Amino acid sequence: MKIATWMTTPHLQHAEIAHDCGFSNIVLDIEHGSFDLGALDMFIGFLKARGIGVHAKVLGPSMEAVQQALDFGADSVIIPHIEGAAHAEAVCACAKYPPLGKRSFAGGRCMGFQRQSDDYFPAENARTRCWPMCETAGALEEIEAILALPTVDGIFLGPSDLSLSRGRPNYHFTEADREDIAQVAAACKAAGKEWVMPGWRADEREFVRGLPLKPVMMVVGPQLGLIRAAFEGLAGALKAEGLR
């Protein structure tokens, strides 16, 4: 199982420190973060130069958002706001070159800034991962049909939005939340496909490790949460020293 950390701002030193501490995969939250196109292009190039796996949670379920992340060199795209199988079919096709999908040709970083041989396109389709998110009640209801799509390599679970979409007041990793997570994992196992889980807490990580199909990657350590935790720890230490 790969372990990734989560970034919402294109901070080079944060990524360097994460990599130096052993994190060789990073999820970029473009949807909720502060990545404009110029920063995204620069940041993905920087991460790839350091040998870091780049997993882009794109701005939204659109062809442009999916293709831009892949063209800049992302190893996988995580597509939010999927409402069901028909929606997933239309959007996930943008992540794969024809004849499998409808991804457009681009001659940038993803192609080494040069023309490639004919076998590049099927090889790139197999190498890059397309992970639509299961974060809506509609996506969960049609999870088997979504996983049956040839353009879908697996599922990225969004437990917080899924809990809200299912009519619960918030995500607290309740029994109902655990049932939803287990349902997604079981569907992926039955389809022979992978899944990814953000495991912010130890009890979440322990739970998913006990499922019949473990996630191919677990995401930990949200960037801004780590910064806040560091400042809270420092503030607590200063208070104990009588300096606050």
Report the C-alpha gap between 171 and 150 in whole angstroms.
31
Burial of residue 120 (number of CB atoms within 10 Å: 0-12, 13-18, 19+): middle
| Cis check: omega of the bond before 99, within 30 degrees of 0 | yes
**Catalytic, out of 11, 14, 19, 32:** 32
The residues, any chain, with a CB within 8 Å of residue 145's CB and separated by 6 or more, are 84, 85
The answer to whether residue 55 is catalytic is: no
Tokens 């918030």 sit on residue: 170
Q: How many residues does the chain have?
A: 244
* 3-state SS, residue 55: strand
Q: Give the helix/strand (H/E) hosting 235.
A: helix 223-240
Active-site residue set: 32
